[in-house]
Amino acid sequence: AKKIVVVGGGVSAGYFARAIVAAGRGADLTIISAEPVAPYERPALTKAVLHAESPARLPGFHTCVGGGGERQTEAWYEDKGVTLRLGTRVVGWDASSKTVTADDGGVTPYDKLVVAIGCTALRLPDAIGGGLPGVHYVRDNADALALSEAMATAKAPVVIGGGYIGLEVAAALAARGLNPRVVLMEKHTMARLWTPEIAAKYESLYETKGVVFHREAKVKRVVAGADGRVASVELEDGSVLKSDLVVVGVGAGAPAAPFDALNTTPNPKQPGGIAVDGTFAASGAGVEPKSVFAIGDVAAFPASDGVATELVPTRVEHVAHARASAAHCASAVLDERFDTPYAFFPFFYSRVFEQKDQVRSVSWAFWGFNRGACVVVGDFAPSMVAFWVDETDGAVVGVMVESCSDAERDAAKRAAETRAVVDVEALRKCASVTEALALTST
């Protein structure tokens, strides 16, 4: 049987293993991961792992519990015949001999190689204090555990970044009553997705929980105290924020090492990563066709940007894509005749303030593309829906819901996927989420 080797131990690796095992090929699979634990559901790291009471801990969130599957502990892999090499980093790759070399000197041959190394958290330069004790980045389980421990004694936390990571960590800090300060360069939070109107609703809610936002602000440096640990954050405008804990969430990079010889994406908006085709097959000098694949965050796959007719290389850093790309790639690895292109439709979500003592939780989901006219319906107490409508043909191209029922979420997703045509003025007059969604289904 052909040997299948996965390099990486994140969400994609776990879901890929699930598919290979389901096909009866577990004994042909080897997973080599730098982390000392089996693959797990990474979203938990900035959510339940950071809760003060009953925090999530492994083995509770190993893949594939987040996708409705079994909890794949180390014992599960052993039982299924999968070779799991943990705490082992791949440092070399030879396409001609079809082998990978680990930091322990071990050389592993493959017939099919799947690169699932994920992304890395972007760091503040050491020159401005990005490496000081007390400055945290969240990318893996060890990072999240260290942050959770630091939060238990923190008095003055500062979060740098107003995107996914920044808002989820700020929520965890606020739920502990720590009144975090959030520093963001943009005019509002989640600037790549939300409109100012939508962001204002969430920011107001966060502020009622003690969060202070510093918008359009840039960090000049992180300052150490006499003990060498972080003591404050200095902004470009001269403001100084006292701090004993700094969490940085300013995006991710996609270095491909040691697989740098694989072709990368030509998309200047998303540099880095590994270029793949619609089956996640990679290519490069000396690489046998359909022998190397890349999945998850590191893969730059052909996808629509919602505007151009041609597909463009796209990287997506989200768990839904990590799971789906793994399953699609597994089909190609298992059957060389498989040539169905990956059908990607943008989907993002987040859930925070789910602790038992919180008055209300936040749970939003988005499908599609955020372009065109945006119409927001609902009072955000707690539900809301936002539609992005193409003004040329009246088609819904994107929908976001907050605190909606499963039926309402299904209706929102369907509206975006089918490009439901709506009367924008009638949509603006809707008094409720239910009424607005009903308008898209007629």
- Which tokens in the block code for residue 206? 């966060």
> Above pLDDT 70, what percent of the chain?
98
Question: pLDDT digits over 4-63, tens only?
Answer: 999 999 999 999 999 999 999 999 999 999 999 999 999 999 999 999 999 999 999 999
Q: Average the pLDDT over 356-377 and give the result.
A: 94
Which pLDDT score is estimated for 430? 96
Least reliable range by pLDDT among 67-71, 272-276, 323-327: 272-276
Which class for 169: exposed (0-12), middle (13-18), buried (19 or more C-beta within 10 A)? buried
Query: What pTM did the predictor assign?
Result: 0.95
3-state DSSP helix/strand/coil percent for the chain, to nearest 5? 25, 25, 50
Residue 169 DSSP SS3: helix
Element (H, E) at 374: strand 373-377
Cα separation, 320 vs 60, whole angstroms: 19
- pLDDT tens-digit map of 203-215: 999 999 999 999 9
What would the mean pLDDT of 219-247 be, rounded to a whole number? 98
Average predicted confidence (pLDDT) for the chain: 96
Contacts of 274 (CB under 8 A, 6+ apart): 115, 254, 256, 259, 262, 263, 264, 265, 282, 294, 298, 299, 300
Q: Where are the beta strands (DSSP E) in 133-180?
A: 135-137, 157-160
Enter the DSSP assignment of 285.
T
Low-confidence winner among 245-249, 267-271, 393-397, 429-433 (lowest mean pLDDT): 267-271
User: Could you read off the pLDDT of 252-283 as tens digits, one per residue?
Assistant: 999 999 999 999 987 666 667 999 999 999 99
Tell me the three state secondary structure of residue 132: coil
What is the arithmetic mean of pLDDT over 166-179? Answer: 98
In the prediction, which pLDDT does 271 show? 66
- What's the pLDDT at 310? 85
Give CA–CA dist 184/161, Å, rounded.
5
Contact at 8 Å (CB) between 303 and 355?
A: no
